[in-house]
Structure 1
Amino acid sequence: MSSLSGISKTTLIGAIALACGTLYTSPASAQTAPRSFYQNAGASCHGIDALNDSKLTRSESRLINKTSSSVTVVCNLPADAYAITGSNFGVVGYVALWARRYAGSGKTMACTMTDGFYGQTGAGTYQPDSGNPVSLPNSGSQAIFEWTPSGGDKFFGPINLRCTLAPNTELNDWFVRYDVNQAPV
């Protein structure tokens, strides 16, 4: 024989369902916090095909084109499974790529960024904030390619970079910043 009446059972089940629902929803006071990924290009970038890849010299910290011809390189940056989705046109707030000349002078490099998954509605290809191509300093110091979304929007993740490395140029590092929901402490 049951010790709970029909109304008490309904109330108990409703209370349990409400408690479970609040465990799986973000609190109304959740805040957005940045989460970033940084990596050396030598570990995560590669030639766009086998022929381009065979022309590159890879080290743990950089990817170098020591040949006398241009090489096309792609960098597939990681996605963040915890990033905010479905709001404000995506989750990526900033992307950077550092490059420099390996030898010679008067070198330039051209790069573009593609956001989102293949065929994703709203995804696009973007030029760096400073335009293309970027001049690589003769001092041997690095130049930076930067992509910042405009008007408060965000880029879709994941991010893919495509660069044409002139002879005797190199990619050094990349950086991507995602926005994630962070519960208040």
Structure 2
Amino acid sequence: MSNEDGSKQKKSNAFTIMKDDSTAGHGGYGVGSVSLENISPVIIDPNESHAFVDMGAMHARSEIERRVKFLPNKDEVPNGLLYWIVWVTVERGENGPYYHGVAGSEVRVDRSIKRAYKSMPEHVTHMDKSMKGYYIVEHMDDASKKLLADFLREFDPKMWENAPDELKDALPAQ
């Protein structure tokens, strides 16, 4: 990414840490709506051994989702490269912020034919489950789970330390 003057600009790699109360307790407009301010999509790229936050995934416009047409059938993208969009929810506990929910959703991308596969119902369900504090990573391949675990540990060691053992048990040790 570069600015108008050609200088390089570092991409932001940050989680949204805490959610706000958009209604501020007044009970008016926005009551009953879901706040997405404490959830961040982490892209796991096992092809390049890379993990990064890409907020564009909130609107299906992440780096891996751009310039491809999505198909609902995985068989139509037989040569697609595997990626994961992992929905990571952060909450605040008595010891500070922690990884409250983590749920990975598969994406297959074949740039040569500009086609990709992802199950929108799965992504919506996993985002919802992450916000509710579930850890859904058992279907991910081992290399991707290790990338995710390393990313979460390194991103904020305190949030990892504060996370429940259920998450730590679901992801491989260092």
TM-score in same-fold range (> 0.5): no
- TM-score with structure 1 length normalisation? 0.26
- What TM-score results when the alignment is normalised by the length of structure 2? 0.28
Which structure carries more relative contact order (alpha carbon 8 Å, separation 6+)? Answer: 1
Larger of the two Rg values belongs to structure: 1
Higher helix share: 2
